[in-house]
Homo-oligomer: A and B are copies of this chain.
């Protein structure tokens, strides 16, 4: 039997990637990236509104065609590859990135009336124009529907579906009125690939709906009309055009339509999986399963776990979301995250520019910082330079660097910033464990996990756990390909279950980061101090005497230096 392949399509903020994977070995036989054509690296902005970030839906179509064709042509040079052996396509995207469409499923952006109207484009995840609406929704939900908030960490974000729709209603009523419904791009891309663009035929994914649009089966799907109507009566019309159900990535959104099959050079009818967010399929591409914490470490982090639907699971305060089947079918998907990780290191290097460009690069600082011993700088940072997503869920917290002296060096600060994000990571892990989700394996992926071994070693030492690194450099696209192999099923040469698919298609690198027990012992002491500062600055009712904190840091410093 010849090898079978699936395709993962990963729509990022600036580009789209196609990845062709052997479903029996995980071998990546072809890949291609295309930078979006519109705006600034794919992001359409408006100097009058610095929070505005939009994307042209045409880029998703062009990108799909260009990258799949290019990846296929690369794969063809691979022994034994035939494009008719591609058995399915999976899709992951950024989110929440909703797009207004008409009753035919055509994006308003494609219509002459709205050709140059930025409000008719896809509202990219990082569009923050809707912060006032987000605050209003949070407050209204707290009053009327506290359960809505419990599943999304207590605060509805300006990045999310309903905030954006409400903001459009208020600031661009022409677009709002012309929209029949709004759809996450994670759902719209599978829809056009399968020809199921009519809103009534379009399949929506549980990942976007559950994490960003307050969808939960316990209250009958999307938020009720009374609640939405209280925000704005016109939202009721849009609510009525939304379906009752949302589906996990194990479900097919339909078969590849003839038109697109022709464009791509693939077999018509092969299934396209329901779309999901990049991080969640990154979890799949890293081999997530019960007991495994997957951390995607980049500018910020996404920390994911899954837990069987068959077992009771409490609400876990401070998590970003707990959504049945948002990552894997049959399991709760749990999402936590740190608002800034790489962004904090980048801030220090690019904005503060310690020592200027020569001695202040990431590489130069890393070289000097890795010579430092844990504790010897006497520094401790609170990693809230971009607020705190988990477990405090508070954007209005700020970073704090303690222990500065006239001898403090840039590399000491750099290392303290890194250590603080590791402490933040440990807080998240401990929150999972405190609510019964034992972490017996940690798999990391994302830029920092492969680029900076010092960071990973510090994380291992602080978390006092072995850390593994996902084998693929493209875990999101790989996760989408895994989903594709599952919707194709074993009859087509794919898989019937995610477990089997992940066993065969995903893996970790041989290199593991093992905690150094001596470092871990020092970090235990520093973490105790971090937690005290975390609690006193981060929670309203915690009182403490902090006199000992600076002293203890100096004691640790002096002890380490005298060794």
Contacts and interface: CB of A to CB of B under 8 A. Distances in A.
16 contacts: A351-B408, A352-B355, A352-B408, A352-B413, A385-B406, A386-B406, A396-B551, A397-B550, A398-B404, A399-B402, A400-B401, A400-B404, A537-B546, A537-B549, A538-B547, A543-B544
A398 B402 contact: yes
Interface stretch (A138-146, A321-329, A339-347, A487-495): A339-347
Interface in A355-413: 355-360, 378, 384-386, 396-410, 413
A198 B208 CA distance: 91
Interface string A435-473: 000000000000000000000000000000000000000
Nearest to A555: B396
Nearest to A545: B543
A529 interface: no
A434 to B, nearest CB: 21
Most chain B CB neighbours (cut-off 10 Å) among A359, A384, A403, A547: A547
A223 interface: no
8 tightest Cβ-Cβ pairs between the two chains A and B: A356-B356, A399-B404, A400-B402, A353-B355, A540-B547, A398-B403, A347-B406, A401-B401
Contacts of A409: 351-352
Contacts of A396: 550-551, 554
- Chain A at the B interface: mostly helix, strand, loop or mixed? mixed
Q: How large is the interface on A (under 10, 10 to 19, 20 to 34, 35 or more residues)?
A: 35 or more
A398 B416 CA distance: 15
A354 interface: yes
A402 B402 CA distance: 8
Interface of A: 340, 343-344, 347, 351-360, 378, 384-386, 396-410, 413, 536-547, 549-551, 553-554
Nearest to A299: B406
A300 B413 CA distance: 24
Contacts of A397: 550
Nearest to A357: B356
A551 B395 CA distance: 10
B352 A410 contact: yes
Nearest to A387: B405
A553 B353 CA distance: 25
Contacts of A403: 398-400
Contacts of A399: 402-405, 408
Contact of A545 (B351, B410, B540): B540
Nearest to A536: B546
A399 to B, nearest CB: 3
